[in-house]
Structure 1
Amino acid sequence: MPDLRTLQTFLAQAEIDEAVFALRPDYRALLLAVDGLEPGPSDATTERLLEQAETAAREALIDRPVEDLPHVAAWREAYRAFGAKPQRTRNSLEALLRRTATGLPRVNRLTDLYNAVSVLHQVPLGGEDLDRYAGSPRLVRAAGQEPFDTTAGGEPVLERPDAGEVVWCDDAGVTCRRWNWRQAARTQLTDGTTAALFILDGLGPLTDGALTAAADDLVGQLSRFGPDVQVARRLLGRP
């Protein structure tokens, strides 16, 4: 049986640096630590959810471009605040919405699920393998020397974030660059993941209630992935 107290302790040590709040005082992160999942490849359930998300996105974009959606626009402003160009490095929500015209990716059960919830609720949402974490998550502005492991052309590559870039990290290095742009290979979800960390990102246009509703939807879906699923959650915002 997964230990709920261990999940709660992990989240209690999560931090957001004041330098991040200086960029966007309205930023909030809702963290979910989940254990007891039964992993697997994409299946009929996640296929239905992805199809629902694709339909919802197409309807939302009938009369306006992606960048005019309020939460997408807010994230574009946040990226500019730390020097990123949103036309070149899109936040995760915008990147997914732009793919709905031709179809969202089908990756594995957990990834498909959080991608669908992200699009349905129009909130950036990332998922990582909790067992591959070294310490608890921290959101900081990078010094520029932190390691970030990724792939290029199918080969492993070690990168460094730009100085001042907003990054999620743990004791071993960067786990996600540019707030919610690209996740590290080390902590990515796989067909074998049984414990996961999910991060839901909110800016001004998105209320705490809407952020919570997205998390509730995700938890409800995850609870069907095994009889012993345990979930701890924590909302982080400016003190």
Structure 2
Amino acid sequence: MTDRDLPGLLAAASVDPAVFALRPDYRASLVAVDGIVPGPSDDESEALLQAAERAAAAALTEAPVDELPHVAAWRDAYRAFGAKPQRTRNSAEALIRRAESGLPRVNRLTDLYNAVSVSHAIPLGGEDLSRYVGAPRLVRAVGDEAFETSAGGEPVTEHPDAGEVVWCDDEGVTCRRWNWRQGPRTALRDDTTSALFVLDALDPLTDDQLEAAVADLEQHLTRLGPDVRTARRVIRAD
């Protein structure tokens, strides 16, 4: 267990007004957690993933994935800053599309948050706080920010498009196109003990539905160690 200041980290987090100008209905629900005991996938994480796969299958009997209400809202948001959603899918859509053939089994922390994302049809990202520098910020990129990633197994530095919505810390971009691609520097790993989760919401997802997703995430996080502690904050335009 560390003495990491989770409420202080969340208090320092910010969403730039330019993002809210793009989508006034946007809400970022941040959940910080410490005291995780790392572990491989287990029976409980397997049950969560199977339930999420069933939820995705049920949803897809009602509409194609790109017409699911919250997925469609994110596709519109991507178009608003110049991205092509048929080529760069938000994280929830990408996972829901994978659910039919089986969601990935990684470790119990990653399995948990992937299952919550699919079950609630909400983009949900996770960052390793031990590798995070400063507070999280969601901004519209200038275009010269550094995004450290890899190509062909080799590290490369990319830059977001001007106007692209990106999550950043003091070191650079941590996630491109709002919730499309996370950088490896802050990605969750098998030894992660402290993490930041970001749940991204747009209308028609209601505040009650967002709260239900956060509560579901927190409930399952608390089983990952006897000393797990969490803090949360919602950032909205008002």
Please classify the TM superposition score into its range, dividing by the shorter chain length.
Answer: over 0.9
Letter in 2 for 1:229: V
Does the 8 A contact of 1:2 with 1:229 survive in 2? no
Letter in 1 for 2:41: S
Letter in 1 for 2:19: V
Match of 2:78 in 1: 79
Does the 8 A contact of 1:24 with 1:78 survive in 2? yes
Q: TM-score, normalised by structure 2?
A: 0.98
Distance 2:121 2:130 in 1: 28
Give the match's secondary structure for 1:117.
Answer: helix
Match of 2:116 in 1: 117
Give the match's secondary structure for 2:223.
Answer: helix
Match of 2:130 in 1: 131
Give how far 1:46 is off: 1.0
Q: Percent identity?
A: 69
Give how far 1:155 is off: 2.2
Match of 2:61 in 1: 62
After superposition, the CA RMSD in angstroms is: 1.0
Match of 1:100 in 2: 99
Q: Structure 2: give runs of 5+ residues left out of the alignment.
A: none
Letter in 1 for 2:102: G
Match of 1:235 in 2: 234
Give how far 1:42 is off: 1.8
Give how far 1:40 is off: 1.8
Give how far 1:175 is off: 0.5
Distance 1:223 1:141 in 2: 34
Q: TM-score, normalised by structure 1?
A: 0.97
Distance 1:78 1:32 in 2: 23
Give how far 1:28 is off: 0.2
Letter in 2 for 1:166: V
Give how far 1:2 is off: 4.1
Aligned residues: 238
Distance 1:63 1:31 in 2: 30
Distance 1:33 1:79 in 2: 26
Distance 1:157 1:43 in 2: 34
Letter in 1 for 2:23: R
Give how far 1:182 is off: 0.4
Give the match's secondary structure for 1:163.
Answer: coil
Question: After superposition, what is the alpha-carbon deviation per residue over 1:112-155, rounded to whole angstroms, capped at 9, x for unaligned?
Answer: 11000000011110011011111000000001111111122222
Q: Structure 1: give runs of 5+ residues left out of the alignment.
A: none
